[in-house]
Chain A
Amino acid sequence: MMQTTSPVSIATHYNNKRKMATLAKLQGHLVGLEQEYFGRNWIAEENRMREHCAAVKIQSCFRGFKVRAHIRYLQKMAIIIQKTWRAFQTRMYYRFMVQRAYFIMKMNFYNEMAVRIQKRWRGHYVRKSIHNYYEMKNYFRGLSMKNQIVRKELEEYEQTKKKEREKKAIEKEERRKRYQARKMHYLLSTEQIRGIYNSPYRQYPSETEYRLKHSSPLSRTILHKKDFTEGLVDPSIPGVPCVFPPLLPPIHRKKPQGPFRDTVEVWQQRYKPLEPSVRVATSITSEEEARQEMKREEWRNRIHDIKFLPFSHPTIFKTYEPLLHTSTKYGPIAYGTKHFRATEDTPTVNKPFQSVFTSIYLFEKFQKTYSKAGEVF
């Protein structure tokens, strides 16, 4: 027990007493308490398990309800969102598809129209330009006409040329016959002897006979010597191939009596060409001509005509060329030397220059009226 008497200690004392009392009470309850305690604990424990499970079940059930309700709600919301979004998308896509379909329809239409135009155009173009049937027909018709014309003209041309040729041939024949007749004029028949073209067995003489009658004898000078050298040898030089007329073999007749020369000799004499001597052949002025020729040749070949003078002051020896003015016989004219203007010949009226405006009065007085000191007037 306590020996202090403070309030706190008094209280605690009473508390301690109370507590002792309770304690004794309690310890009296203590013997059966343990069993009751265990029994109550065991029942409570069993109940506790059962209640625990039940509580868990109830809780889980309720939680399930809660969660499902929430999920349902979420799903509904999600559906609504998706619904509206899909509708929106689809409408957009639909608009797009409509546009596309419209565009395709338009293009098909245009294509068809274009095909129609091109069809028409191509047909027209081919028919008109590439293979124009009517034009071709016309062309071929024109071509045949042209061919006909050309054929006709060529035919005419050929005919005229043929006629010309025939005419020429006839003329040539005529000329040849005339020439033959002239050459054989001696075959003309005489009173005594009938010529070979005037046969007694014929009724009338042949055509050649008439020709012979009307032809004049051919003179020897017309005989042409054939040039066997084809123009390649100079015939102007004497002693050059002088072709004798082809000599026939001598006719072995009795040599005529008398002092006749041999026929061969005579022929050689007769047909010998002139072979002049050098003296005869040269012209009388040949020397002069040769000189001139030489001079000409030299002049031709000279590059310039200025003579080379072998001294160094050629100007001394240059001939003086007088002026045209002095050397002419007509003499110089007075104009340009003596006078330049025509005023000398024409009587000059002493007219002063015509003034357009009046002269300045003051200037007229210049040197006339100003001062005495000038002493001009």
Chain B
Amino acid sequence: MLPKDDTLKKNAVSATGSGSRDVMSQTPSDDLCQAKGPARNLFRFVAVAIAAQRNSQGWRLPWRRESAAVAADGCERLHRPDPHTVTMTQRLALQVFEQYQKARTHFVQTIAELATRPQNIETLQNAGVMSLLRPLLLDVVPSIQQTAALALGRLANYNDDLAEAVVKGDILPQLVYSLAEQNRFYKKAAAFVLRAVAKHSPQLAQAVVDCGALDALVICLEEFDPGVKEAAAWALGYVARHNAELSQAVVDAGAVPLLVLCIQEPEVPLKRIAASALSDIAKQSPELAQTVVDAGSIAHLAQMILNPDAKLKRQVFSALGQISKHSVDLAEMVVEAEIFPSVLTCLKDPDEYVKKNVATLIREIAKHTPELSQLIVNTGGVAAVIDYIGDSKSNVRLPGIMMLGYVAAHSENLAMAVIVSKGVAQLAICLSEEPEDHIKAASAWALGQIGRHTPEHARAVAVANVLPKLLSLYMQTGSSEDLQVKAKKALKNILQKCTYLPALDPLLHEAPPNVLKHVVGQYSKVLPHDTKARRLFVTSGGLKKIQEIKADPGSVLQEYINGINSCYPEEIVRYYSPGYSDALLERVENYQPAL
């Protein structure tokens, strides 16, 4: 049972009074030793009781040297009275303040930790946490400010309703103002909140821009601390991500040269974020990409290609790809930075997204002119890309397939280069084994681009047994419309140049009329000149099939059929015409043998 309060206080006073001036010499343990017998036990008991009470309130133990002024005030030096002369009531009053401060700190720290888990956030939102956190942003104690900003940031990060609540609560102007004033921890926390708000939608990002955050963030980019720069660059990147106007606003605030400086810093996370921000800016429009290039970013991005960090490489290649996609000049500038052939080594990176972004970059470069494609081919890029297609699966392959299509589309020499590098076999594999329609459509398109130039190309494509596959894709009802259209176009393009008859045979038997027209057309072009082919045509049953085709007289198909029929003697043609056996049998029936 605890003694009464006044005894406690008395003892407390005596304890602290004795221990106030000189800790070392007069610790209560001395008192304990001096006290004797039951008084000793009583004293000890009381001391423990006090300790227990104070511990339950989180206070320090009495014989620790403390002054009321220290507490958790941090660096603030309030004009607290000298601890030696403080009276009891003053002390109580100060205790109240300390309690309040501890309570605030505890509250804000717990909220910050709870906000890391998504399931708590709903509860917090319903309890009205935003309105409670807002005044804590203006707290006198810096750590509470910073923790409150951290908590707000985590809440806003979670979903856009909370982010809107942040915007509506007029918190952003305060944050922006203090971005300019406070120390680096607060700057990091404030930049975190801004980024969490801006990431959800263009309207929220616009709200962030409207309170003048961009200038403050750009000033933060000039700080020494890399953490602050990273937070500011991240926020700018998220703002610029949404659309071109926001990117233009970011560029107008003068962020791009500073971001380029950030890329040159030694810290890897900072480089990553800066590269990602530049990528987001450059992807919006050609003028913005030109601005990014004018700041001298290509040279620095090119230097980081062989950095061992995978996430950094992702961002670097994404940035270079976004720059080069807009125009020929930009693509040429990227190529002039001498990224080939070292970029091809990154096609073997274990990280999938690095490979995908490299392939995207190569595709964007190859897309523009035949000269750029020729350059890529000469450095062995096509072989590297074909190997990459073989190594990867589904969506990661797509840029590589498209790159082959673009290269082959420019000229027949380049298409032949793709064939020579064994691209057709790989594309045929993609066509057959990929489950998703858009990748199949891309493969079909690429094969069409390869095969459409000359009979040699068409032969190379046909030999890989691609035509029946294309036909089946065209005919399937399950294929998407895009796939059907692309398969048909590819088939038509290849057929118009294909003189390799063994590949056309299966098509003859299965094709629908609009495709059959082209097939028969090709036969009619080849058969008049090749006797062996004619023979093969007859023996394989092609002539029979031709006779069975019903075509409108005067149509192109009929002309082709006539052309083919004219290659053969009439008896053969009649022999194979449908119903000939019936006609013969009829003749047999009608024949009267001469007796």
Contacts and interface: CB of A to CB of B under 8 A. Distances in A.
Interface of A: 136, 140, 143-144, 146-151, 154, 157-158, 161-162, 165, 228-234, 237-241, 259, 261-262, 264-265, 268-269, 272, 275-281
Contacts, number: 125
Interface in B257-307: none
- What are the 6 A-B residue pairs with the smallest beta carbon separation, nearest first? A239-B72, A150-B380, A147-B383, A237-B74, A234-B185, A158-B348
A268 B149 CA distance: 29
Interface in B80-100: 83
Nearest to B149: A232
B112 A147 contact: no
A150 B344 contact: yes
Interface residues on B, range: 35 or more
B348 A161 contact: yes
Given A161-B348, A233-B147, 13 more contacts: A136-B413, A154-B387, A161-B350, A229-B146, A232-B147, A237-B74, A237-B142, A238-B72, A238-B74, A262-B52, A264-B55, A272-B60, A281-B70
Contacts of B380: 146-147, 149-151
Contact of B384 (A150, A240, A276): A150
Given A147-B383, A154-B347, A279-B67, A232 B188 contact: yes
B462 interface: no
Nearest to B102: A239
Contacts of A154: 344-345, 347-348, 384, 387
B560 interface: no
Contact of B55 (A144, A239, A265): A265
B77 interface: yes
A185 to B, nearest CB: 32
B377 A143 contact: yes
Contacts of A261: 48
B458 interface: no
A72 B185 CA distance: 138
B189 interface: yes
B51 A265 contact: yes
A150 B188 CA distance: 46
A244 to B, nearest CB: 11
Residue from A230, A234, A264 with most neighbouring chain B CB atoms (10 Å): A234
A151 B345 contact: no
A241 B106 CA distance: 8
Nearest to B421: A147
Contacts of A277: 65-67, 69-70, 83
Interface in B304-354: 341, 344-345, 347-348, 350
8 contacts: A147-B382, A147-B383, A148-B383, A154-B387, A231-B227, A232-B185, A234-B146, A262-B52
A150 B348 contact: no
A143 B74 contact: no
Contacts of A162: 350
A154 B150 CA distance: 46
Given A161-B348, A237-B75, A276 B143 contact: no
B70 to A, nearest CB: 4
A241 B143 contact: yes
B39 interface: no
Contacts of B149: 232
A262 B377 CA distance: 77
Nearest to B420: A140
B185 A233 contact: yes
Residue from B69, B105, B143 with most neighbouring chain A CB atoms (10 Å): B143
B51 A151 contact: no
A144 B149 CA distance: 60
B147 A144 contact: no
Contacts of A161: 348, 350
A203 B382 CA distance: 58
A226 to B, nearest CB: 11
A230 B116 CA distance: 11
Interface string B91-127: 0000000000000010001001100100000000000
Interface string B47-66: 01001100100001100011
B416 A140 contact: yes
Contacts of A269: 61
B203 interface: no
Nearest to B154: A230
A228 B69 contact: no
Contact of A144 (B52, B105, B153, B421): B421
Interface string B161-192: 00000000000000000000001010011001
B573 interface: no
A276 B64 CA distance: 10
Contacts of B420: 140, 143-144, 147
Contacts of B75: 237
A228 B111 CA distance: 12
Given A157-B348, A234-B143, A277-B69, A229 B387 contact: no
Interface in B172-218: 183, 185, 188-189, 192
B417 interface: yes
Given A269-B61, A275-B70, A140 B348 contact: no
A276 B61 contact: no
Nearest to A243: B109
A150 B344 CA distance: 9
Contact of B147 (A148, A241, A268): A241
B61 A232 contact: no
B526 interface: no
A229 to B, nearest CB: 6
Contacts of A240: 72, 74, 105, 143
A239 B60 CA distance: 12
Contacts of A239: 71-74, 105, 143
Contacts of B153: 232
Contacts of A278: 67, 69-70, 77
Contacts of A241: 105, 109, 143, 147
A67 B289 CA distance: 111
A159 to B, nearest CB: 9
A146 B340 CA distance: 14
A241 B111 CA distance: 13
Interface in B539-571: none
Contacts of A237: 74-75, 142-143
Contacts of A280: 65
Contacts of A262: 52
A136 B70 CA distance: 86
Contacts of B150: 229-230, 232-233
Nearest to B231: A232
A241 B153 CA distance: 18
Given A229-B150, A265-B55, A151 B112 contact: no
A228 B113 contact: yes
Contacts of A147: 380, 382-383, 420-421
A128 B379 CA distance: 24
B412 to A, nearest CB: 9
A352 B433 CA distance: 114
Residue from A237, A259, A261 with most neighbouring chain B CB atoms (10 Å): A237
Residue from A144, A154, A228 with most neighbouring chain B CB atoms (10 Å): A154
A276 B70 contact: yes
Contacts of B347: 154
Contacts of B116: 228
A275 B188 contact: no
Contacts of B383: 146-148, 150-151
A279 B84 CA distance: 12
Contacts of A140: 416-417, 420
Interface in B127-154: 142-143, 146-147, 149-150, 153
B70 A231 contact: no
A279 B421 CA distance: 78
Contact of A231 (B67, B143, B188): B188
A279 B83 CA distance: 11
B44 to A, nearest CB: 8
Contacts of A148: 383
A327 B61 CA distance: 69
